[in-house]
Structure 1
């Protein structure tokens, strides 16, 4: 019964998120993110006059072996033109205390990390976003899922 109640509350909270344009999280097989295994997301922009925030969603366990994660992202338009590409670094744990950042329950922590803030798309239509881990390890352990969230920027 508690699980059903929690699911209903979660659905209610998620459905009330008016700023969200797109959000998808992809599970990582066996909690090991392979370096050449890019996660691909396709989303639609319906209003090119507005500005948007893009976030990297990450779920990891406390057994993740590093305090940070490097990822590369590429944003492409419908003609496959590369609009943005960047290597970014995010701290997942406090470097001094080792305490995990993000919101967590038990040994699993969720992060919503800013990729692009106040971004203006040139036109409406579909866009493709590729996300790839760029750590020294080819097989990065203890990553449960990776995702993308696109939301309308509030401070237009």
Structure 2
């Protein structure tokens, strides 16, 4: 009995040490999301996201983060994304992002009637010529260009940028 409790105590200590070490590992990440007033996205509202690139030798994953209600009327969203690099050069592209299908329903993670999508923008950024080869501040601006204005049932829009391992 004594051996079992000693083994349990040692296991808890080692598990705690591992959790502390893992928790102290810094993940190089930028993530910001902005709420949309009354869950309506006016086409004149263009959220902007500024982040700093320090390591120009690294590769980065860039993803759009979008939250909407189940009542959102479409299975896609058209966006115009503009990027300004540290030298002031502007890049802009439009993209049609799939949010759901008739067969599978919403493609994002859902809880109750809220769905969150994290959609990679890597292909679009490469096509537009955007790279993170210069250290400094990059600015992303995201505009919805759907025919419906305002776009109803969209709760948040954001950007996630993570350094690839």
What does residue 47 of structure 1 align with?
A: 55
Which structure carries more helix by proportion? 2
Counterpart-to-counterpart distance in 1, 2:141 and 2:148? 19
Q: Per the alignment, in what secondary structure is the counterpart of residue 100 of structure 2?
A: coil
What does residue 106 of structure 2 align with?
A: 100
Give 5+ residue unaligned stretches, structure 1.
1-14
Pair 1:35–1:45, CA change in 2 (3 A): same
TM-score by length of 2: 0.77
Over residues 18-72 of structure 1, what are the superposed CA-to-partner deviations in whole Å (9 max), with x where a residue is unaligned? 5442100000000000011101000000101111111100000010011110111
User: Within 5 Å, which residues of 2 pair with 1:27-66?
Assistant: 27-66=35-74
What does residue 29 of structure 2 align with?
A: 21
Give 5+ residue unaligned stretches, structure 2.
1-22
Displaced runs of 4 or more, over 6 A: none
CA RMSD of superposed structures (Å): 2.2
Is the CA contact 1:20–1:149 (under 8 Å) kept in the aligned structure 2? no
What does residue 155 of structure 2 align with?
A: 144
Which residue of 134, 151, 160 maps to 1:123?
Answer: 134
TM-score by length of 1: 0.81
The offset of 1:17, in angstroms, is 8.2
Instruction: Give aligned pairs, total.
Output: 139
Which structure carries more strand by proportion? 1
Is the CA contact 2:72–2:152 (under 8 Å) kept in the aligned structure 1? yes
Q: Per the alignment, in what secondary structure is the counterpart of residue 38 of structure 2?
A: helix
Larger radius of gyration: 2
Q: Per the alignment, in what secondary structure is the counterpart of residue 82 of structure 2?
A: strand
* Pairing 1:135–2:142 present: no
Over residues 94-149 of structure 1, what are the superposed CA-to-partner deviations in whole Å (9 max), with x where a residue is unaligned? 1x336111101000000001112687412111110001111001200000000000
Pair 1:31–1:151, CA change in 2 (3 A): same
Is the CA contact 2:47–2:141 (under 8 Å) kept in the aligned structure 1? yes
Pair 1:17–1:115, CA change in 2 (3 A): farther
